[in-house]
Structure 1
Amino acid sequence: MKQVVQNYKSGELAVLDVPVPECKPGGVLVRTSYSLISTGTELMKVSEAGMSMLGKARSRPDQVAKVMQSVATNGLPATYRKVMGKLDSYTPLGYSLCGVVEQVGAGIDDVRVGDLVACAGNEHALHAEVNWVPKNLYTPLPEGLAPRHAAFGTVGSIAMQGVRQGEPQLGDVALVIGLGLIGQLVAQLLTASGARVVGVDPDPSRCELAVGLGAVVCGEPGSPAVDAAVESLTGGHGVDQVYLAAGGADNGPVELAARLCRDRGRVVDIGKTRLDLPWNAYYEKELDVRFSRSYGPGRYDPEYELDGRDYPIGYVRWTERRNLACFLDLLARGRVDVEPLISHVADFDDAVKTYERLKDGELKAVAVLFRYPDGPAAEEGEARAAEVAVPAVRRGTVAPVPSRPAKASVRLAFVGAGNYASSMLLPHLVGREGVDLSAVVTTTALSAANAQRKFGFAEATTDLDAVLEDPSIDAVFVVTRHSSHAALTRRALLAGKAVFVEKPLALTEEELADIVAAVEESGNDRIHVGFNRRFAPLLQEARKRFGARTGPASLRYLVNAGRLQQGSWYLRQGTEGSRFTGEGGHFVDTASWLLGSDPVSVYAVAATGGEDLQIVLRYADGSTATISYVTTGTPGFPKETLDLIADGKVLRLDDFVRASVFTDGGAAGRKRWVSSRLPQARDKGQNAQLAAFVRAVRTGGPMPVPLESLVATTAATLAVRTGLAGGAPVTLARAR
C-alpha cells in the first residue's frame, strides 16, 4: 500500500510503498476513502522539517530540553547517534480520516466488514491507503453522512473539546481568535450551542466564511467592527469566553483576549500560540485560563487508546470516542456544515505536490482532503420500490482537470438564447467587469445573430463542437429546453468547462446518474444549477435575522404557479418532463437551504384530475417542509409565500417583496423585523447568483452550491414522480 511520509532531517516528503498493517485484536483495518490535511498542525510540522538544525531547535525548545537531559544521562556521542537516527527517518502524517472496514480484529463487535467509519489518531488515522485503528479511535458513520464530511471527525472533536472546556451557555457571547480550520469549527459549534460568536482573523476571506456559517461579526485584529460588536452584544461587559484558535509567536491573541473578555470570563487555549499572559490584565479581571487537550478525555492514555478500556459514562461523559460520535451526529443533522470549508480535494497520488503547494502559499486553503482510489463500497442489495438512490459524487477518478489560476476575466459561452436567458441572465452579465461574452450557440443562425447584436457576443454560431473545443472558453451556460439540459451539461463537463445549467439539471434518474458519471470521468465538478432563490437579498437577510435554531423546523411553501398558456412547451410532458420536474427544484433547493441540509425522504400526493401537488420533504434532524404547488389559484395572489417556524421564531416571505421575522423576546416581549421593497424591485437572486458563479470561475474557488446538494435537490424533485406513482413515501438513499 501507499503512505505519505516525511524525513524530518531533510524535510523530504514522499509517497512510499509500505506493507499493509496487521489486523490486531481490539481494532479494525480500514481502507481510507478520504483523509483530511490539518492545515495548521501538519503544515507546521512540514515547515519545521524544512528548517536548519538550529531552526528546528528554536522551534521545539521542549525537544531540546529532552536532548540536553539525554546528554547528561547517556553522554554526547550516544545522544547524538540517537537524535540523528530519529531525525533521519520517515515519519507519518495525518490524523483524521473516513474509510471502509476491511477486516475486523478479535474482540470487536460494533462494526462489520463494509461499514463506513471515521477514525482519529496521529498513529492510526494516517494519510495511508490502509490503517489499523483501535476501538476507541473509530466510530461508525450515521446514516446519510458523506464520507468526505466524516473525514473531519478528528478536527471536529478537537474543536468540540475546546468548546466543552469553555462551558458556553445559551445566550453567551464568545470570541474566537483565529478562523482557520479549527476556529471555523469552534465558531459553528458555539453557534449550534446557542452562543453568539464574534470572530477575529487577519484574512478577510476567512472572516467572510465564518459570517456565512453563523458568526455575528468577524474582522481583523483591532478592527473597530469587532470592538463595536462586542460592546453591542454584551452591553459593554465583554465576552463570556475567548477561544484561542490561532498559532504563531505573536502575543497579540492573548492580549486581545484580556481586553475583550468580561470580568471572570474564560479563556480557552486550543491552538499552539504564544501565551505570555499580561499579568495585570488577567489578574484584575480574574480570568480563568483553560487548556483544551486534543480530542478529549482518553487522549494520551494508552489503556484507553490502545487497550480499548473505556471510561464509565457516569464519571466521564465525553471521551475521545464519544466526542467523535457527537460531532458526526451534528454533521449528519446539518447543525455543522464542513462543505464550505473544503478549499481543495486532491488525489492521494498528488499528496507531495499538494503539501508543497500549501507550504509555498500557492494553495490557499482552510481544509484540504485527500481522495483515495478505492472509495466507499456500494450499498448492499438493490434499492427497494420506495427508495431512490442519490448518485454519489467521486470526483476525478480518471483524468482530473488541472486547477486554473485566478484570472482577470472569464470568457463565457451561451448555449441557447431564449426568453429566460435574454431577460434574466444576460442583462446581468452585459458590461459586468471581468466578463467576456465570447460566443452564443443556438440551433438557428438568426437567433444566434440576434443575441450577438443585442448583447455583444464576440461570436454567434450553431457549431457547439467548436465552442466546446475552444480552450479559451472558461464556462458554458446551458439555457435550452429541459430535455437537452443533461446531455449538454455532460458534454460541457467532459470538455473541461465550468457549467451553469438552468434548472432542471436532469429529467430522469438515469440522466442524473450520467451527469455524476461525467464528473467522475472528467474530474470536473465545476457545475452550478440556476437555483437562484437562495441568493435573493431579502431572503438572505431574513435568514440571517432568523438566526440559528436548536430544534426541528416546520416550513410551508405555497407556490401559486397558475395556469399555463395554451401552446406553452412546458405542456409537452412527454419530452420536456412535468411542470414540477421543470421548476420544482427551485422550491426544494430553497427549503433545503433554509433548513441547512438535504432531504432524506419525499411524499407527494396530487389532487384528483389536476396538477396541484402537496409535497412533504423530511430531513434528518426531524424538520419537515411542505410544498403546495398549485395551478388553480388566482393570478392576483402572490406567486410564492413561505413560512419557516422553529424555536419560537417565525420567518415569513411574501413573494420576494416583503419579509418578516418574529421572535419571542421573553421578558422583553415579542420582537419583529420587517423589510420590504416595491413590487417592481422584486429580486429573486439572479444577479447575486451570477456574481457568485463568475467569481468562482474567475478565482478557481468553490462553486456557489456544493455539487452534492445540487444532486440531492434534483433527486428529491424527481422522486415526486416516483412517489405519485407508488402512493408511498420515497426514501432518498445516499449511494456510497
Structure 2
Amino acid sequence: MKQVAQNYKSGDLAVLEVPEPSCRPGGILVRSVHSLISTGTELMKVGEARLSLVGKAKARPDQVRKVLTSAAQQGPTAAYRKVMGQLDRWTPLGYSLAGVVVAVGEGAEEFAVGDVVACAGNEFALHAEVNWVPVNLAVAVPHGVAPEHAAFATVGAIAMQGVRRGEMALGETACVIGLGLVGQLMVRLLVASGVRVLGVDPVPERCRLAEKAGARATAGPDEAAGIAGPHGADVIFLAAGGHSNDPLRLAVDLARDRGRLVDVGKTRLDLPWNECYEKELEVRFSRSYGPGRYDDRYELDGIDYPAGYVRWTERRNIECFLDLIAAESLDLTPLVDGIHPISGAAEVYEALRTGELTGVGHLFSYPPATAPVAPATETLPAARPETAAPTVPAGPPVRRPPHAGRPGGPVRLGVIGAGAYAGSMLLPHLAADPAVALGTVATTRSLTAASARERFGFERAVTEAEEVLADESLDAVLIATRHHSHARLVCRALEAGKAVFVEKPLALDEHQLEEIVATVARTGNDRLMVGFNRRFAPLMVELRERFGEHGPLSLRYLVNAGPLAADSWYRDAGREGSRFVGEGGHFLDVLALWTGALPTRVHAVGHDQDVQATITYADGSLASLAYTTGGTPRAPKELLDVSGAGRNARLDNFAGTTLWTPRGKVARRSRLGQDKGQRAELAAFAAAVRDDAPMPIPLESLVATTRATIAVATSLSTREQVLL
C-alpha cells in the first residue's frame, strides 16, 4: 500500500510502498477515503526536517537535553549512534481521516465491516491507504456527512476542546487570533454557540473567510487595536503558531479586565507580567483533542472515562463535531480548498510550503480497494504499538528438530520488532556482518517495517510475526518486541525449529519461564540465546581473563538506573512487568559470569524502583546488587567491584577497568568509547548458528539468571528470601 513519510534527517518526503497493517484486537482496520493535511502542525514538522542538525537542535531543545544526558552516561559514540538512528528513518505524517472499515478486531465489535468512520491519532490516522485504529480513536460517521467533511473531525475536535476551555456564555465576545485551519473551525463553533466572534489574521483572505462564517469583525494584527471595543474581549483564543511573541502581546491588549487567554496553537508565550497583572488575566492551555489524549489506557486499551466524571473526552468531541455537521450547524464546504491524489503528496507539500497552493483545507484522496482485506483471526489481548509483537495466530505447535545450521554459509536471520533499541544497537551490527543475511523483518507498524527494510537491507518487510516464523528459509529469529510478548514468541520460534535470539527479559514470571523450559523439552530445540550483552563487552572480557582463577568471590554491583520517564512503557507493570524484571537480568548475568556458579538464594528489600538484593551462589560467592533510581542520569550508570583470591577488580561503566594484585595495580581505558558488547554477542550467536556450535551462554545459565531476576521481585513482595 502507499503511505506518506518523511526522513527527519534529510528532510526527504516521499510516498512509499509499505506492507498493509494487520488487524489487531482492540481496534479496526480502515481503508482511507480522505485524509486531511494539517497545514499548521504538519507543515511545521516538514519545515523542521529540512533544517540542519544545528537548526533541528535549536527547534527541539528538549531533545538536546536528552542527548546530553545520554552522552554523559553512555558516552558520545553511543549517544551519536542513538540520535542518528532516530533521525535517519521514515516517520509518518497525518492524524485526521475518514474511511471505511474493512476488518474488525476482538473488542471492537461496535463497528462492522463497511462502516464509514472518522479516525484520529498521529500514530494511527495516517496518510496511508490502510490504517489500524484503536476503538477509542474511531467514530462512526452520521448518515449524510460527506467523507471529505468527516476527514476534518480530528482537527475539529482540537478546535472544540479549545472552545470548551474558554467556558464561554451566550452573548460573550471571543477573539480568535490566527485564522488558519484550527482558527476557522473555532470561529464556526463559537458562532454556533451563540458567541459574538472576532478574528485577527495577517492574511486578508482568511479574514474574509471567517466573516462569511459569521465573525462580526476581523482585522490584520496592525489594525486590530480597537476591534474588541472599549471593554475588550471576554476570551482570547490563541490559534496562531510561530516563534514571535506578537500574538500573545496582542491577546493581552485585546482582553478585557479579568479576561481569559486560551492557548490552542504552538506559539511563543513570554507573558508581559505588568499588563497581565494589571488586568488579572487567566491563562489556560488546550491539550489537543481533549481528555484521553496521551493516556495509553484510554487510547490503546480502550478504557473510557465515565461521562459523569469526564463529559467530553476526545472521542466524544469528535462525535459532537460530526453531529454538528450532520445537523448542518457547521458548513465545511468553504474550507475545502483542494483534494489531491495520495500519489502526488510530495508535490502537494512542496506547493503548500512555497505558497503555490493557498487556503487552509487540503485533503488527500485514495484509490478504491483492489482486493478485500482479510478479517482478523487474532484472539490475544490487545498489543501496544511501536515494538509490540505483530500478530501471531494461535495454533498447534509445529514440532521440528532443532536447526542443524549451515556450516560455512551466512546465517539467514528473520527479525520480529525493529524499534528504537533494535534500530540503534542491534540491526546496524547485523547489517554490517557478512556472516548474516537479513531475510524478513516484521513489525506492527507498516512504516517501521519499510524503514528497517530500506535502512538495513532486509529482503522483505511484513506486519505479521507468523510470516517470519513460518519462513523455512530462515535459520534463526531475533525477537526485539515489548517484554510481554517475549515468552510467547520464543516458544513459537522454538516450535518452528529456529535458533532464537531474544532481547531480555526471557520471561516476566515463573509461569512463562516454565512454558519455555517445557517447549525446549518437548521440541528438543535448545538453540536459545538471550541478549545479555554485557558479558561480551571487551573491557569485561579482558578484566575477567586477567583476574584469573578464583575461589568464592564477594561482588558489589551498583546500578544508577536514574528516574523513569513519564511516558515510559515500563510504567505499565501489569503488562510489561516491573522495571527490575525487565532490566535486572543484565546485571545478574554479569554476576553469573564472574562466579561461574548458579544462584541458590535471593533476598531483596526496597520497592519496585529501588532494589537492594543479596544473591548467594553455589560456590559460596556472595553478591550485592543495588539498583537505584533516585540519582541523576548524568552520573555513570554501572560500577562493579569484585574481591577474592587476593585480588580486586573494578569495572567503571564500561569505560575503564582497574585490577589490583599483589604485584600492583593495572588500569585500562577504552579508546573507542563505551562498548557494552552488542556487536560481540550478535557475532557469537551468528557463529554458533552457522557452525552448529553450542550457544554462547548455556541454557542452564539463562534459565537460572531469569529465575533469579523473577525471585528478586518475589522477595520484594513477600519480604522473605527465596530459595532457587
> Does the aligned pair in 1 maintain the 2:219–2:227 contact within 8 Å?
no
Q: Distance in 2 between matches of 1:191 and 1:66?
A: 44
Q: How many angstroms does 1:72 deviate by?
A: 2.3
1:291 aligns with 2:289: no
- Post-superposition CA distance 1:277-305 (Å, at most 9, x none): 00011111111100010000000000100
- The offset of 1:244, in angstroms, is 0.3
Cα–Cα, structure 1 residues 376 and 278, in superposed 2: closer, same or farther, change >3 Å?
A: farther
Length-normalised TM-score, structure 1: 0.50
CA offsets, 1:221-265, max 9 Å, x none?
021xx444411xxxx211100000001111111111111101111
**Distance (whole Å) between structure 1 residues aligned to residue 353 and residue 231 of structure 2:** 41
Alignment of 1:17-96 (within 5 A): 17-96=17-96
- In the TM superposition, residue 54 of structure 1 has moved relative to its aligned partner by 0.9
Select the residue among 237, 241, 245 that pairs with 1:251: 245
Matches within 5 A, 1:613-632: none
Q: Distance in 2 between matches of 1:70 and 1:332?
A: 51
C-alpha separation in 2, matches of 1:173 and 1:5: 41
What SS class does the counterpart of residue 222 from structure 1 fall into? Answer: helix
Q: In 2, distance between residues paired with 1:82 and 1:302?
A: 25
Q: Whole-Å Cα distance in 1 between the matches of residues 195 and 67 of structure 2?
A: 45
In structure 2, what residue type is equivalent to 1:247? G
1:69 Cα offset (Å): 2.0
Q: Deviations over 1:609-658 (max 9, x none)?
A: xxxxxxxxxxxxxxxxxxxxxxxxxxxxxxxxxxxxxxxxxxxxxxxxxx
The structure whose Rg is larger is: 2
Whether the 8 Å CA contact 1:26–1:106 is kept in 2: the answer is: yes
CA distance in 1, matches of 2:16, 2:23: 20
Tell me if the contact between 2:199 and 2:217 (Cα under 8 Å) persists in the aligned partners.
yes
| Distance in 1 of aligned mates of 2:226 and 2:239 | 22
Asked if the contact 1:33/1:375 (under 8 Å) is kept, the reply is no
Q: 1:109 aligns to what?
A: 109
- Please tell me whether the aligned partners of residues 258 and 281 of structure 2 are also in contact (alpha carbons under 8 angstroms): yes
SS in 2 for 1:248: coil
Alignment deviations for residues 395-435 of structure 1 (CA, whole Å, 9 cap, x no partner): xxxxxxxxxxxxxxxxxxxxxxxxxxxxxxxxxxxxxxxxx
Residue 344 of structure 1 pairs with residue 338 of structure 2: yes
Q: Secondary structure at the match of 1:33?
A: strand
Find the counterpart in structure 2 of residue 230 from structure 1: 228
1:148 aligns with 2:148: yes
Q: Is the 8 A contact 1:29 1:101 kept in 2?
A: yes
Kept in 2: contact 1:6–1:13 (CA 8 A): yes
Aligned partners of 2:5 and 2:16 also within 8 Å:
yes
1:189 — aligned with what?
189
User: In structure 2, how many angstroms separate the alpha carbons of the residues matched to 1:187 and 1:279?
Assistant: 29
**Cα gap change, 1:376 to 1:171, in 2 (>3 Å):** farther
CA-based RMSD of the aligned residues comes to 1.5
Name the SS for the 2:102 alignment partner: strand
SS of the equivalent of 1:184 reads helix
What CA distance in whole angstroms lies between the structure 1 residues aligned with 2:344 and 2:130?
17
1:687-727 deviation line (CA, Å, top 9, x unaligned): xxxxxxxxxxxxxxxxxxxxxxxxxxxxxxxxxxxxxxxxx
- 1:264 is the counterpart of 2:262: no
Structure 1's unaligned 5+ residue stretches are: 378-736
Q: Deviations over 1:456-475 (max 9, x none)?
A: xxxxxxxxxxxxxxxxxxxx
1:173 matched to which residue of 2? 173
Q: Which residue number in structure 2 is paired with residue 282 of structure 1?
A: 276
Cα shift at 1:206: 0.3
Which residue, out of 335, 352, 358, partners 1:358?
352
Paired position in structure 1 for 2:329: 335
CA distance in 1, matches of 2:219, 2:231: 20
Cα pair 1:29 1:102 within 8 Å, conserved: yes
Shift of 1:73: 2.7
Total equivalences in the alignment? 372
Q: Is 1:208 equivalent to 2:246 in the alignment?
A: no
Conserved 8 A contact 1:99-1:376 = no
| Structure 2 runs not aligned, ≥5 long | 372-724
Native 8 Å contact 1:264 1:286 kept in 2: yes
Corresponding residue for residue 447 of structure 1? none
Q: Distance in 2 between matches of 1:375 and 1:260?
A: 51
> Secondary structure of 1:331's match?
helix
CA displacement 1:5-53 (0-9 Å, x = unmatched): 1000000011111111110001000000000000000000001111111
User: Equivalent residue for 1:452?
Assistant: none
Contact (CA 8 Å) 1:168, 1:241: kept in 2 or not? yes
Aligned partners of 2:30 and 2:101 also within 8 Å? yes
- Aligned-pair CA distance for 1:66: 1.8
- Distance (whole Å) between structure 1 residues aligned to residue 284 and residue 73 of structure 2: 34
Give the distance between the partners of 1:120 and 1:77, measured in 2 at CA. Answer: 38
1:124, 1:132 within 8 Å by CA — same for their partners in 2? yes
Aligned partner of 2:639 in structure 1 is none
Cross-structure match for 1:160: 160
- 1:369 matched to 2:363: yes
Q: Secondary structure at the match of 2:368?
A: coil
Contact 1:197 1:217 in 2 (8 A): yes
Q: Which residue of 2 aligns with 1:643?
A: none
Matched AA of 1:334? E
Q: Distance in 2 between matches of 1:238 and 1:228?
A: 8
Whether 2:193 is the aligned partner of 1:199: answer no
Aligned counterpart, 1:123: 123
Flag the 1:36–1:375 CA change in 2: closer, same or farther, 3 A.
Answer: farther
Amino acid of the residue matched to residue 166 of structure 2? G
Paired with 1:41 and 1:149, the residues of 2 have a C-alpha distance of: 19
Q: Which residue of 2 aligns with 1:302?
A: 296
Identify the residue that residue 98 of structure 2 maps to in structure 1. 98
State the Cα distance separating 1:375 from its structure 2 match: 8.0
Secondary structure at 1:230's aligned position in 2?
coil
Question: 1:347·1:372 contact (CA, 8 Å) conserved in 2?
Answer: yes
Instruction: For residue 222 of structure 2, give the secondary structure of its aligned residue in structure 1.
Output: coil
Residues 35 and 94 in structure 2, CA contact (< 8 A), matched pair in contact too:
yes
Query: Alpha-carbon deviation of 1:376?
Result: 13
CA contact (8 A) 1:31 1:99 kept: yes
Partner Cα separation in structure 2 for residue 286 and residue 47 of structure 1? 37
Contact 1:179 / 1:246 at 8 angstroms: preserved in 2? Answer: yes
Q: Secondary structure at the match of 2:221?
A: coil
Rounded Cα–Cα distance in structure 2 between residues aligned with 1:108 and 1:200:
43
CA distance in 1, matches of 2:45, 2:260: 29
